[in-house]
Every structure is written in structure tokens, then in C-alpha cells.
């Protein structure tokens, strides 16, 4: 999930590779890249170097590691360090109904159309973090087709195992629910002590979670709606093009892809898509 401030962490002197270009040229970076690829499947080469190295440098300072070689050794031998690094690198800032205008569009236009055309829906939230996005989709589906968890399938995937564990618990702090209306909160959430809220089982039944690496793993086919928002903005252009192509291929003709507000797809036709609304694309029919 999104790394917080590192107040209280023991800060080391600024590494000599503070500039990203110097870091990537460091042999330790290649060792770290290989260690992460072998142990987690994460490919650092697919990410923009500046953003990635800023985060890695921050993690090293937080952990008290002196250089990339030491970090690579720790990643290779210590599963706890490896998981902390993955958590720190992940950009998992999320909440229920984030960007509510997008969800309004889904509820008013996209989901009713898909329900009418296909009847049984397959929906994929790619990079789902703590589950707020796929559960938001489950609420929309339940509002349109009440009690239909046995009919529709919502898949939530992420590379971050700890975020997925949080998603399966389906317990959230108040700040994650700021876009949830009072009516939805009363219907779909139960208050817990200390200001926490638990999602009701009826909504949880819609969603299945699994680990998935967008750069390595097969994509689930036959999807009617895919949300992949604020996930790939840190990837290189080559990696983005590969992901867009695979996401488009995972859609049925007439299926929709919703991306983040900084992830406009230029020339969507090259992927068999056409723009349907801002940040929303539909897979064109064959021929």
C-alpha cells in the first residue's frame, strides 16, 4: 500500500547514487533487479527509472541499508525484507468510489448496458489494492441486480499479497468510506469498535481475490468490464503498450476498459478499442 512518511526512521547519509541515472548504472541495481525478478516476478526494468529509484532510495534509508548491493542481498535471503520492499514500492492509495463521477457513469450507462447484453457479468479490477475498487463494483452490481452474487463474477488482483489479505478481511477505516453515501453505508457496511467499518457478507460474496503480475501472468479472458486505474502510470512506454494490448484482448467484443485519469490511451484503435467517454474504452466488434 502507499508508503507513509518515514518519520522516526534512521536516515542514512544521502547515497552517492542519489541521481537515478547513477543508480541504474550501479552494478548493485542489476543485482537487485535479478533478485526481485527471481523471488517475486517484479521487473524493475518495466518501470520508469526516476520514480522507482526515488522509492528504492527511500526504502534503503528507512531500513538502514547502505547500498544497492546490501539491499539485493537482503531481498535474496529475507522474505520479510522482500515483502516490505514490495509494500513500499506499491502505489495502493485507494478508497471506495474513488473518482465518484466514474462510478456514476458505470452505474448509469455501462453496467446496465452490459447486463442487458450479456446477463452474467465477468468484471476484473486489476491492481485492486485493499479491495475498495472491486467491492465498489460489487455494490453497483448488487444495486442493479440484487442478490446476484451467484450469477456475476468480480475478480480483484494485485501483486501485493498483504494488500490482498487486507482486501479479504473487508474491514476499513472511516477515511476509506468518505465517498460512500449514507444510504449505501447503512445498507452495505456494519460499524465496528474504534471507527472501523466491515463490509457485509452479501457484497463480499461477489468478489474473488488472487495474486497477479500484469507483466508476467496470463490475463483472464472473456471479461465484460476491466478497471485498471492508476496502476501503470509508473511503467515505461513499452510496458504500457504491452499491458494495454493484453487488457484489450481480455475483453469480449463490446466490453469496456476504464483507466485512470492520467492514463489516456492514445491511438486506441491499435488495440482494437475506441473511446467511449473520458478514460473509458470499448472493444470494437470483430470486422
Mean pLDDT lowest for which of 195-199, 206-210, 217-221, 230-234?
230-234
CB atoms inside a 10 Å sphere around CB 73: 16
Tell me how far apart the alpha carbons of residues 203 and 36 are, in angstroms, rounded to a whole number. Answer: 35
Query: How would residue 203 be classed by pLDDT, with cut points 50, 70 and 90?
Result: very high
Per-residue pLDDT, 2: 34
Cα separation, 50 vs 22, in Å, equals 10
The H-or-E segment that residue 196 falls in is strand 196-199
Contact in structure between 43 and 216 (CB atoms under 8 Å): yes
**All residues at 6 or more sequence positions from 69 whose CB lies less than 8 Å from its CB, including other chains:** 27, 28, 31
Kindly state the cell numbers that stand for 162. 498483504
Q: Which three cell numbers stand for residue 36?
A: 526481485
Domains, in order of start, for the chain: 20-89 (no CATH), 100-283 (3.40.50.150)
pLDDT in tens, 146-174: 999 999 999 999 988 888 999 999 999 99
Reported confidence tier of residue 101, pLDDT bands at 50, 70, 90: very high
Residue 281 has pLDDT above 50, yes or no: yes
Do the Cβ atoms of 137 and 227 come closer than 8 Å?
A: yes
3-state class percentages of the chain: helix first, strand second, coil last, to nearest 5: 45, 20, 35
Give the pLDDT band of residue 55 (cuts 50, 70, 90): confident
Confidence grade of residue 93 (pLDDT, cut at 50, 70, 90): low
How many helices (DSSP H) and strands (DSSP E) are in the chain? 12, 10
272 touches 284 (CB < 8 A): yes
DSSP 33-53: HHHHHHHH---GGGB-HHHHH
Higher pLDDT, 8 or 149: 149
Say which residue, 228 or 66, is predicted with more confidence.
228
CB 54 within 8 A of CB 17: no
User: Is residue 130 within 8 Å of residue 185, measured between CB atoms?
Assistant: no
Mean pLDDT, to the nearest integer, of 228-257? 91
C-beta of residue 259 within 8 angstroms of C-beta of residue 228: yes
Per residue in 17-51, pLDDT tens? 444 444 556 778 888 888 887 877 677 776 767 77
> The whole model's pTM is what?
0.75
Amino acid at each position: 500500500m502507499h508508503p507513509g512518511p518515514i518519520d522516526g526512521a534512521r536516515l542514512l547519509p544521502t547515497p552517492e547514487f542519489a541521481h537515478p541515472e547513477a543508480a541504474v548504472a550501479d552494478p548493485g541495481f542489476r543485482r537487485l533487479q535479478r533478485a526481485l525478478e527471481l523471488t517475486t516476478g517484479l521487473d524493475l526494468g518495466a518501470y520508469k527509472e526516476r520514480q522507482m529509484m526515488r522509492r528504492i532510495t527511500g526504502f534503503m534509508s528507512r531500513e538502514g541499508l547502505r547500498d544497492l548491493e546490501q539491499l539485493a542481498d537482503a531481498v535474496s535471503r529475507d522474505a520479510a525484507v522482500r515483502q516490505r520492499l514490495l509494500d513500499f514500492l506499491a502505489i495502493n492509495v485507494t478508497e471506495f468510489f474513488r473518482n465518484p463521477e466514474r462510478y456514476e457513469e458505470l452505474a448509469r450507462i455501462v453496467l446496465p448496458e452490459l447486463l442487458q447484453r450479456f446477463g452474467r457479468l465477468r468484471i476484473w479490477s486489476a491492481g485492486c489494492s485493499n479491495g475498495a475498487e472491486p467491492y465498489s463494483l460489487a455494490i453497483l452490481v448488487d444495486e442493479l441486480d440484487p442478490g446476484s452474487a451467484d450469477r456475476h463474477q468480480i475478480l480483484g488482483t494485485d501483486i501485493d499479497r498483504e494488500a490482498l489479505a487486507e482486501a479479504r478481511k473487508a474491514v476499513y477505516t472511516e477515511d476509506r468510506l468518505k465517498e460512500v453515501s449514507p444510504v449505501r453505508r447503512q445498507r452495505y457496511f456494519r460499524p465496528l469498535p474504534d471507527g472501523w467499518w466491515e463490509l457485509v457478507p452479501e457484497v463480499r460474496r461477489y468478489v474473488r481475490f488472487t495474486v497477479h503480475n500484469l507483466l508476467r501472468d496470463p490475463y483472464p479472458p472473456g471479461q465484460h468490464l476491466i478497471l485498471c486505474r492508476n496502476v501503470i502510470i509508473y511503467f515505461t512506454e513499452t510496458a504500457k503498450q504491452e499491458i494495454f494490448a493484453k487488457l484489450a484482448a481480455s475483453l469480449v467484443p463490446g466490453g469496456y476498459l476504464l483507466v485512470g485519469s492520467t492514463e489516456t490511451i492514445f491511438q486506441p484503435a491499435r488495440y482494437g478499442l475506441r473511446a467511449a467517454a473520458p478514460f473509458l474504452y470499448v472493444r470494437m466488434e470483430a470486422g
